Amino acid sequence: MDLGKETNIQNIFNNRYKNITANNKFSNEIYNQLEDIFNDCENKLNDYRDLRHLKTYTIDSEDTLEIDDAISLEIKCNSKIIWIHISSPANYINYNSFIDLEARKRSTTIYLTNKIITMLPDKLISSLISI
């Protein structure tokens, strides 16, 4: 892989993500699949235990867009239960779907000083897969 004369982080980033537009847009196929995901989400939510009564602390940074990891401590009688909460986008995203393929291509959400390139569409990360 040719990274240019100067091998710096900007060259690496530009080469790796050159096909992802600067405005972090997703294809129309992905937006269409989002509609299907949200239409089917009620069925999927029944698979989860409702723990909203617990005081929960995120372990993500304060400025993150994706709140996808958290912990809680529950005290019952003389025992303590530590709950570890991890978002599971795979419960909503089908394998080899347009969203899955794009997420694998992007690999992760990237936080730069002047922009953020998300792995998944904002509509997903700010709702269904956010803790």
83, pLDDT greater than 60: yes
pTM greater than 0.75 (yes/no): no
d(CA 5, CA 103): 30
**pLDDT for residue 101:** 93
DSSP H stretches of helix in the chain: 9-16, 28-45, 98-106, 122-123
* pLDDT single digits (tens) 64-78: 778 888 999 999 999
- Residue 81's pLDDT is 94
Note the pLDDT tens digit of each residue in 28-72. 999 999 988 888 877 777 778 888 899 999 988 887 778 888 999
- Paired with 69 in beta bridges are 86
Q: Please report which confidence band the pLDDT of residue 20 belongs to, taking 50, 70 and 90 as the band edges.
A: low
Radius of gyration of the chain (CA): 18
Residue 46 C-alpha from the chain's centroid: 21
- Return the pLDDT at 47: 77
pLDDT in the model for residue 3 = 47
Q: Tell me what percent of the residues of the chain surpass a pLDDT of 90.
A: 29
Give the pLDDT band (50/70/90) at residue 80. Answer: very high
